């Protein structure tokens, strides 16, 4: 019998829940996110967000209309969206005014009449004011960040609610349209691709961007301000990058993005989105973010940072963890990609990098947290999540061998493309492909706050 791991125990708990409730996966009664229990609303499923954003950099005033199209899992007399942005002025459900109440980080909507189970419905929310960032003592600054010449939205983990109402549940991905209006001359970018040429009326210009592949809220992005934009098409994929010319000049981002995509496509399989790119805006948050199809860098990045954010397009953006507890599935994979890329470009070998970290003595705080459950405040802990996440993958690779390991990376990216998956799914897939029992290895490397033994090889 297979040893019961934390991962398999969680999977069978979900199976028991399914038996007890008869509810299909993704419907009501799945537990809330363990790190962000206030985020997410489970009685409906969003299909599309249409975000009409009118923004004036000089005043930082946002005048917005968000249209959320969703299907109801059950009859809804009232429902909630995640929202803590500027004051709401009006809410319409299927075109009729609805009652609403804003409190904390939720917008509660009561439609004139209940929404029928299975019905597709639209919610229009109008709001106006200056959105503000979240400054979290543990996670730093994120959400809508106003800049001297505009704004940029960096939402990970739960910052999207600072600028639009959404179902901020990793499992409820949706497509997006961004219609951004600014004074003419200001540049506005978002995820995905431009849809049609800009429209100018009365000194204001509207640009439309579309993300046609499902996207989790934390990966949505807009960047507004003075930007120098570059566009090319490389191997059939549009590459759109931008940097703020008032900051330092950047010549690396555009070609490095194309190179990272080309190199990673060969290793991980088809690139999941319809365009790539990147945006540099010197916002001083101290991190880059893998916003879907177009990461944001808070300074001119080095090559490895670009390789990391582009790796997230497969690992994090296309295949997204089901809950934030599994953040190592994002950061461990992206960090391991840096190690692979380095080795292939004249740097130290992956084994050397692993060995150097592995020399860290058993009593060192480096080993203090569980990589597979670091805790909400330590979700971006570099040692526990990024480095030990990558080390976990290397331990797995030395156990199952190169052929099965690289097959696993590609099969993982393909099997869970545009969806969500958890560590239990990775364990099951790795065991299936390699015919190894891997529960003990996962337990040692992910669910033990201590230096794990080296895997035999
Ligand atoms: N996911 C980002 C990366 O690629 C880090 C985001 C950090 N976010 C934050 N709120 N501190 O490493
Ligand atoms: Zn990362």
CA of 288 to the centre of ligand 1 (A): 6
For ligand 1, atom 4, name the residue with the nearest CA: 289
CA of 384 to the centre of ligand 1 (A): 14
Task: Report the residue among 153, 287, 332 best suited for mutation to probe ligand 1: largest number of ligand atoms under 8 A from its CB.
Answer: 287
Q: What is d(CA 215, CA 290) in angstroms, rounded to the nearest whole number?
A: 12
pLDDT in tens, 169-192: 999 999 999 999 999 999 999 999
pLDDT in tens, 360-379: 999 999 999 999 999 999 99
Q: Tell me which CATH code domain 44-226 carries.
A: 2.60.40.1730
CA of 31 to the centre of ligand 2 (A): 26
pLDDT for position 322: 98
Atom of ligand 1 nearest to the CA of 308: 4
pLDDT for position 3: 33
From the list 441, 439, 348, the residue with the least C-alpha distance to 394 is 441
For ligand 1, atom 2, name the residue with the nearest CA: 289
Q: Where do you find CATH 2.60.40.1730 in the chain? A: 44-226
Record the tokens describing residue 243, joined without a space.
């940097």
What are phi and psi for residue 451, nearest 5 degrees? -65, 120
Burial letters 96-110, b for 16+ CB under 10 A, else e:
eebebebeebbbbbb
Q: What is the CA radius of gyration of the chain?
A: 22
pLDDT for position 14: 44
pLDDT for position 72: 97
Superfamily for the 321-446 domain: Neutral Protease Domain 2 (1.10.390.10)
Asked whether 43 and 74 are in contact (CB, 8 A), the reply is: yes
pLDDT for position 86: 98
pLDDT for position 416: 98
CA of 56 to the centre of ligand 2 (A): 31
Which residues of the chain fall short of a pLDDT of 50? Answer: 1-26, 28
Question: Which ligand has the minimum distance to the alpha carbon of residue 135?
Answer: 1
Q: Where do you find CATH 1.10.390.10 in the chain? A: 321-446
pTM of structure:
0.94
Residues contacting ligand 1 via CB (< 6 Å): 139-140, 142, 156, 287-290, 308-309, 380
CA of 317 to the centre of ligand 2 (A): 11
pLDDT for position 65: 98
């Amino acid at each position: 019998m297979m040893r019961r791991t934390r991962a398999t125990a969680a999977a069978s708990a979900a199976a028991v829940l399914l038996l007890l409730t008869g509810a299909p996966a993704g419907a009501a009664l799945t537990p809330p996110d363990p790190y962000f229990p206030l985020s997410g609303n489970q009685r409906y499923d969003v299909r599309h967000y249409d975000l009409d954003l009118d923004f004036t950099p000089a005043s930082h005033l946002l005048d917005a209309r968000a249209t959320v199209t969703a299907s109801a899992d059950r009859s809804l007399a009232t429902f909630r969206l995640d929202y803590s942005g500027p004051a709401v002025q009006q809410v319409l459900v299927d075109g009729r005014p609805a009652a609403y109440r804003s409190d904390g980080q939720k917008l509660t909507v009561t439609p004139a009449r209940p929404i029928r189970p299975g019905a597709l419905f639209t919610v229009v929310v109008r709001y106006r004011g200056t959105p503000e960032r979240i400054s979290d003592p543990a996670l730093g600054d994120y959400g809508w960040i106003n800049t001297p010449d505009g704004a940029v939205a960096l939402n990970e983990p739960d910052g999207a609610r600072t600028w639009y109402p959404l179902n901020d549940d990793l499992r409820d991905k949706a497509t997006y349209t961004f219609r951004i209006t600014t004074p003419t001359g200001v540049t506005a970018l978002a995820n995905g691709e431009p849809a049609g040429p800009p429209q100018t009326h009365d000194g204001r210009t509207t640009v439309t961007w579309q993300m046609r592949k499902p996207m989790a809220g934390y990966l949505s992005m807009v960047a507004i301000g003075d930007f120098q934009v570059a566009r090319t098409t490389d191997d059939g994929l549009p590459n759109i990058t931008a940097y703020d010319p008032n900051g330092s000049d950047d010549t690396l981002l555009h070609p490095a993005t194309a190179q990272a995509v080309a190199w990673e496509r060969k290793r991980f399989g088809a690139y999941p989105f319809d365009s790539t790119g990147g945006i540099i805006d010197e916002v001083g948050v101290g991190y880059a973010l893998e916003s879907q199809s177009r990461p944001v860098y808070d300074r001119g990045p080095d090559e490895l940072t670009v390789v990391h954010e582009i790796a997230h397009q497969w690992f994090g953006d296309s295949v997204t963890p089901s809950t934030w507890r599994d953040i190592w599935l994002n950061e461990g994979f992206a960090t391991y990609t840096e190690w692979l890329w380095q080795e292939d470009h004249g740097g130290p070998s992956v084994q050397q990098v692993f060995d150097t970290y592995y020399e860290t003595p058993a009593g060192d705080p480096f080993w203090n947290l569980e990589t597979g459950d670091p805790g909400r405040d330590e979700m971006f802990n570099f040692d526990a999540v990024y480095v030990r996440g990558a080390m976990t993958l290397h331990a797995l690779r030395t156990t199952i061998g190169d052929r099965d390991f690289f097959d696993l990376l590609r099969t993982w990216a393909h099997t869970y493309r545009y969806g969500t998956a958890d560590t239990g799914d990775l364990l099951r897939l790795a065991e299936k492909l390699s015919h190894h029992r891997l529960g003990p290895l996962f337990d040692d490397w992910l669910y033990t706050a201590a230096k794990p033994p080296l895997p035999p090889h």
